[in-house]
Amino acid sequence: MRSFDFAAGTAVVTGAASGIGEALAHGLARRGSDLVLLDRDAERLAAVAAAIGAAHPDRQVTTYVVDLADAAATARAAEEIRQRHPRIRLLVNNAGVALGGRFDQVTLAEFSWVIDINFRAVVQLTHALLPTLKAEPGAHLVNISSLFGLIAPPGQTAYSASKFAVRGFTEALRHELADDGVGVTSVHPGGIRTRIAQNARVGSGVSAEEYETGRRQFEKLLSIDPATAAQVILRGVERRRGRVLIGWSAKLPDLLARIAPTSYGRLLAVGLNRAAGDPARRASTVPPQRQPETPAADRAGEPA
């Protein structure tokens, strides 16, 4: 398969108002792509589009304000995109949300909220736009999974379930679309400094003490700039990589999971505690900041 050609093609990016999605949008514009950007946050999304328009006046930038937790709204946006942009060359399913808490600390509604945005929306948008991708020579699909699509730590049952699902879905599509000439990449970011952790929900059954411990530890682990992550992703797309891991915070746990698939949890806990500077305490996996009951649903990036 030839290298991906960004120029004179249209790229669709979800979760484009901040974090990795925003950085990807700027990177794609610099490489010559026209853009279709989706996010729930209208104000931030408009600011991103304006900045790209000012820096790259020759690029076409279209925005859609949509809450991907709403399946009907997602379907309407997908249909409009399909009709208005018949030559989509790249789809990046980047939007994601996080939920902290063990399975017995979260409600089924909270669990389903994560699955809806992180997996169902990925499947729905891909299904709607796949005919367009298959009709465009040299097209490519990127699904953002996570470090937690490689390992599954305690306190992240919903998030890991959604990201493992994205990983499996993407790997199957890679095999199915090979003969159609559509490249497929699964991305697994490590500790990226994005807003997803800030906008994470905390399970209804998580105590204040556990939440505060997790907040302090996770703040120390998020060290990779979103712009760096975007560069790695776009380089992987250009080279048609099937899988992209970002940072040693993803690569080392992936290696641990391969070497000790049923017992990596103990080693991971030690590493997390040391990285957080708290070797005497067991690592918590509650995301770092509690937010209101209706946080933004489509923020880009990864919490791990």
Q: Which residues are catalytic?
A: 159
Query: For residue 172, what are the CA distances in angstroms to 166, 186, 241?
Result: 10, 11, 15
Give yes or no for a contact between 145 and 187, defined as CB atoms under 8 angstroms apart: yes
Q: Which of 22, 101, 111 is nearest to 299 (CA)?
A: 22
Interatomic CA distance for residues 18 and 52, integer angstroms: 13
Interatomic CA distance for residues 100 and 114, integer angstroms: 11
Give yes or no for a contact between 53 and 256, defined as CB atoms under 8 angstroms apart: no
Q: Are strands 183-189 and 99-100 parallel, antiparallel or unpaired?
A: unpaired
- What's the distance, Cα to Cα, between the start and end of the chain in Å? 32
Which tokens in the block code for residue 246? 């970002």
Region at 33 (left for phi over 0; alpha for psi -120 to 50; beta for the rest)? beta
Torsion angle (degrees, nearest 10) of CA 81, 99, 147, 230: 40
Question: HSE (CB half, 13 Å, CA atoms) of 258?
Answer: 6
Q: Which of 209, 192, 203, 198 is nearest to 288 (CA)?
A: 198
Which tokens in the block code for residue 10? 């249209």
